[in-house]
Amino acid sequence: MAIETQPERAQGAGGGDPLAGHNPRPWWRRPAIHTAIVGAIIGYVLGHLLGDYLTGATGSASLYPNVVLSDSEDWPIVLGYVLAIVGWLAGLGVFNDILRQVVGRPTASGSGLPEHETSGLARYFRYSLDHKVVGIQYLVGMIIYFCTAGLFAMAIRTELLSPTQHVFTSQVYVEIVGEHGTMMMMLMSSVILGPFGNYLVPLMIGAKRVAFPRVEALSFWLTPMAFVILLSGLLLGGFPFGWTGYAPLSIQSTVGADSYAVAFGLMGISMILAGFNIIVTVICYRAPGMRWSRLPMFIWSMVSTSFLMVLAAPVLVGGMYMLVMDRTAQTAFFEDSLGGSSYLYQNLFWFFGHPEVYILALPGFGIVSEIIPVMCRKPLFAYKVAAAGMIGVSLLSFFVWQHHLFDSGINPDMRPLFMLTTELISIPTGFIYLVALGTFWKAKIRFTVPMLFALAFYFNFLIGGVSGVFLSDVPADTTEHGSFFVMAHFHYTIMGGLIFAFMGGLYFWLPKMMGITLNQKLGKWQFWTMFISFNSTFLPLFAVGMAGQPRRVFEYARNLQTLNDWVSISSFFLGGSILLFVINFVWSTVIAREPGVANPWQSRGLEWQVSSPPPAGNFEKIPVVLSGPYDYGVKDAQPVADLNPPPGVLTAAISQAASVRAEA
C-alpha cells in the first residue's frame, strides 16, 4: 500500500466553480448547515407531496391502489424523510464533487486547502474533510444526543415515583420510553468511535489523514438527521415499542413508527460508513514501524468495533427497510397471518442487536486500556491477551443473539448452544480484567480524573458483566428476562462502562483535541457525584427486577415503591452530575479556555508527540515508529517514533516493501 504523503485537501466551497476555493463566495452562499437545513425542508415538502400524489390523497385517484391500504400518512412521511435526507446532504455540498466528476470538471479537492477551512468556527458547520474537524463535530453532537436522551430517562423515572400512573398518560409514557431507548442505543453506538476514533486513529497510527474523508464526513452528517427524524416521531404520536420495535406491534403502530424505522436505518448506514473508514485507515495508513504488535489498544478496540459495525449494521438496515415496506407497501415480511414471521424480525433485529451492545462496550475497553498504563506508569500487562480479548469478544458476539429469545419459543433445542456461546464470551471479557489487574500490580497509580473514570469503569463493568452471566443461564433467565434486572444489567455495561469510559477519554484527550484542559476540580466533583449516584440508581434495580417488575411499565407492585423512589431520586442526582459535566465542558471550552500543557499525562502515545491541537496535516513528515506505546519504566527505552526521519528512509522503505511484494 502506497503511503500518501500529501494530505487530502479539504474540499473547497461547493457549487460549480472549481476555483471557488480561491475566490470564496459570501458565507451564506457556501454550503454549510444553513443550506443543509433549507435543503432538508425542501426535500421533506417534495417527498410529502410525492407521497400524497402516489396515494391519491391530493384528490386524484391513487396510482397504486394497494398502497392506500396503509390507511394513513405512511407513504408521504417516509418519502418526506428520505427526500429530506437527500436534501440535507445536497445542501451540505456532499454531492458537489461527485457531480463535478460526472460532468468531467476538476474537483475542488486538488486545489489546496483554502484559508478559511483551516481555522475558525465556521468549518465545524460544514461538510469538512478534515478528520480532526469531524472528530469535534461528533464530540459536540454526541454530547447533545446523550443529554437529550438522558432527559427522557429522567422523565421515565419521574413517572415511576409512584406505583400508579400519575404524571404522564400511557401514550406519553410509552413515547418517552421509546425515544429514550432508541436514541441511546442508536446514537451512542458512535459515542467513542465518532469523536475519539475519527480524531485519534490517524494520529495514533502516524497517518496524515483517514482513508476516506468523504465517507467519514458523511457518517457524521447523517447523525443529526437521524436525531431529528427520531425526535420528529414525537410530533407524529411517537412509537409504542421501545428500541426493539418488535413486529407486528411496530407494523400496527401509527405514523410515529416511521420515524423510528427511518432514523434507525439511517444510523445503521452511518455506522457502516464510519466503521468502513476506520478499518481501511488502520489497515492501510499505519506509519512505517507501526506493526500490529505496536498498535495502541485503543486502535485494536476501534478496529474490532468497526468490524462489528460493518458486519452487523447491514442486517439492521435490511430489517428496517423490510419494516418500512411492511408499513407502506403492504408487504408481509413480518405478518404471521400473511405468510411472514414475527420471528424473522426478532432474528434480524438481534443479529444486529447483540453485536450492537458490543459496539457499545468495546470502545470502552479500548479507552481504559489506554488510560491505565499512562496513569500507572507501567506497560500494559499482557498486551496480546488484551488484543485477543477484543477480537474474541467481537467474534463471539455474532453467535449469541438468540439469548434474547430464550423464552420466545424459537429454536428451544438450540438454547443450550446459545447459553454456551453467551457464557463463553465472558472469557475474553475476563481478559480485560486480567490486563487491568496485571497493570495495577506494583504500579504508581495517579488519581487523575481520567484514571478515576477508568477505575470506575472496571468497578461498574464487573457488576454489569457478572449479571450478564446470570442472564445467560436459561433457567435463571426465565425470571430475569424482560425485567428490570436486564435493564440494570445493560445500564451497568453501557452507562457504567461506555459512558464512564467516554468521560475518562474526554478528560484524557481534550487537551489534545482542543488544546484546552477541562477544569480538574469540577471534574473530580463530577466524577464522585456521577459514580455514587450511578450506582445508587442502578444497583437497586437488580433487586427490583428480581422482585418481579417488568421493564417499560408505569404500574408496579406497591411494595416496590420505596426502592423505585430511591432509584428515581438517585437518577435526578445522576442527571445533576451530567449537568455538572455540561457546565464544566462549556465553561472550560468556551469561557475559561485554559490552555493545556502539551503532554499533560507524560504519555508515550504517538498522538501526544505532536502539538496540541495538531497541525492541519497531523505530522510534518510521516513518522517512523520505533517502539511500542507502553514502554513505561523501561531504562533507555527508545522514543516512540522518529518524527523527523532522515530523507530517503521512507522512500527506501516503500521501495523495499514494493520489491518484496513484487517477488511474492
Partner 1 sequence: MAASVAEDAPVQGAAGPNHGLRIFIIWLPLAVAADIVLYFVYGPHMPPGRMSTSAASQQFDIKVMSVLAAPVMIFVLVFMAYSVIVWRHREGDDEDGPPIYGHARIQATWITVTAVIVLFLAGFGTYELAWPGFAGAGAGQGPSPIWKPNGTPLQVQVIAQQWRFTYRYPQFGGFETTQLMLPVNEPIQFNVTSLDVIHSFWAYQLGVKADANPGVNNVAYTTAIQTGNVTVRCAELCGLWHGAMFDYGRVVSVAAFKAWAARTEVKLAAVTRILPPYASTYDPTVVPQINKAMAKAGIGGANGYYYPPNDPVQP
Q: Which of residues 612-651 bind partner 1 (CB under 8 A)?
A: 631-634
Tell me how far, at minimum, the Cβ of 559 lies from partner 1, in Å. 11
Q: Between residues 135 and 464, which has the closer beta carbon with respect to partner 1?
A: 464
- The grid cell for 367 is 479507552
Tell me how far, at minimum, the Cβ of 203 lies from partner 1, in Å. 23
Binding partner 1 (rule: CB under 8 A), the pick from 56, 548, 576, 613 is 548
Site for partner 1, residues 123 to 162, rule: CB under 8 A: none
Report phi then psi at 114, rounded to 5.
-65, 150
Instruction: Decide the pairing of beta strands 641-642 and 624-625.
Output: antiparallel
Contact 291, 197 (CB under 8 A): no
Binding partner 1 (rule: CB under 8 A), the pick from 23, 58, 118, 170 is 170
Binding partner 1 (rule: CB under 8 A), the pick from 292, 441, 528, 572 is 441
Q: Between residues 456 and 622, which has the closer beta carbon with respect to partner 1?
A: 456
Residue 399 interacting with partner 1 (CB under 8 A): no
Contact 360, 400 (CB under 8 A): no
Site for partner 1, residues 453 to 472, rule: CB under 8 A: 455, 458-459, 462-463, 466, 469-470, 472
Q: How many CB atoms lie within 10 A of CB 220?
A: 24
How far is CA 62 from its chain centroid? Answer: 41
Tell me how far, at minimum, the Cβ of 629 lies from partner 1, in Å. 13
Distance CA 181, CA 150 (A): 10
Residue 476 interacting with partner 1 (CB under 8 A): yes
Binding partner 1 (rule: CB under 8 A), the pick from 48, 157, 294, 378 is 378
Report phi then psi at 18, rounded to 5.
-65, -20
Distance CA 659, CA 417 (A): 48
Q: Between residues 426 and 536, which has the closer beta carbon with respect to partner 1?
A: 426
Binding partner 1 (rule: CB under 8 A), the pick from 50, 332, 547, 616 is 547
Site for partner 1, residues 17 to 76, rule: CB under 8 A: none
Distance CA 137, CA 403 (A): 36
Tell me how far, at minimum, the Cβ of 378 lies from partner 1, in Å. 4
Q: DSSP letters of 384-420?
A: HHHHHHHHHHHHHGGG-GGGGGTTTTSSGGGHHHHHH
Cα separation of the two ends of the chain: 14
Binding partner 1 (rule: CB under 8 A), the pick from 208, 481, 491, 512 is 481
What residue type is assigned to position 220 of the chain?
F
Stretches 29-37, 239-247, 298-306, 498-506: which one binds partner 1 (CB under 8 A)?
239-247
Nearest to residue 471, comparing CAs of 449, 490, 451? 490
Strands (E), 12-115: none
Q: Between residues 563 and 582, which has the closer beta carbon with respect to partner 1?
A: 563
Report phi then psi at 625, rounded to 5.
-80, 130
Binding partner 1 (rule: CB under 8 A), the pick from 81, 145, 173, 220 is 173
Binding partner 1 (rule: CB under 8 A), the pick from 111, 408, 520, 536 is 408
Q: Between residues 330 and 341, which has the closer beta carbon with respect to partner 1?
A: 341
Residue 244 interacting with partner 1 (CB under 8 A): yes
Q: DSSP letters of 303-333?
A: HHHHHHHHHHHHHHHHHHHHHHHHHHT---S
Site for partner 1, residues 176 to 215, rule: CB under 8 A: 177
Distance CA 82, CA 75 (A): 11
Residue 412 interacting with partner 1 (CB under 8 A): yes
Site for partner 1, residues 317 to 356, rule: CB under 8 A: 336-337, 342-343
What residue type is assigned to position 160 of the chain?
L
- The grid cell for 581 is 459535566
Distance CA 532, CA 452 (A): 12
**In the block, which residue shows the cell 506509519?**
287
Q: Between residues 72 and 426, which has the closer beta carbon with respect to partner 1?
A: 426
Stretches 82-90, 199-207, 236-244, 318-326: which one binds partner 1 (CB under 8 A)?
236-244
Binding partner 1 (rule: CB under 8 A), the pick from 383, 401, 534, 619 is 383
Size of the site for partner 1 (CB under 8 A): 94
Residue 524 interacting with partner 1 (CB under 8 A): no
Binding partner 1 (rule: CB under 8 A), the pick from 118, 478, 559, 655 is 478
Tell me how far, at minimum, the Cβ of 377 lies from partner 1, in Å. 4
Q: What is the per-residue binding string for partner 1 in 419-438, x denoting contact by CB under 8 A? A: xx--xx-xx--xx-xx--xx
Q: What is the per-residue binding string for partner 1 in 251-290, x denoting contact by CB under 8 A? A: -xx-------------------------------------
Which three-class secondary structure state does DSSP give residue 96?
Answer: helix
Stretches 374-382, 568-576, 586-594, 656-664: which one binds partner 1 (CB under 8 A)?
374-382
Site for partner 1, residues 553 to 572, rule: CB under 8 A: 553-555, 557
Site for partner 1, residues 483 to 502, rule: CB under 8 A: 483
Distance CA 639, CA 625 (A): 9
Q: Assess whether the previous peptide bond of 248 is cis (omega < 30° from 0).
A: yes
Q: Give the H/E segment covering residue 642.
A: strand 641-642
Q: How many CB atoms lie within 10 A of CB 432?
A: 27
Binding partner 1 (rule: CB under 8 A), the pick from 59, 409, 647, 648 is 409
Contact 654, 3 (CB under 8 A): yes
Contact 209, 4 (CB under 8 A): yes
Binding partner 1 (rule: CB under 8 A), the pick from 47, 242, 296, 496 is 242
CB-based contacts of 658, cutoff 8 Å, min separation 6? none
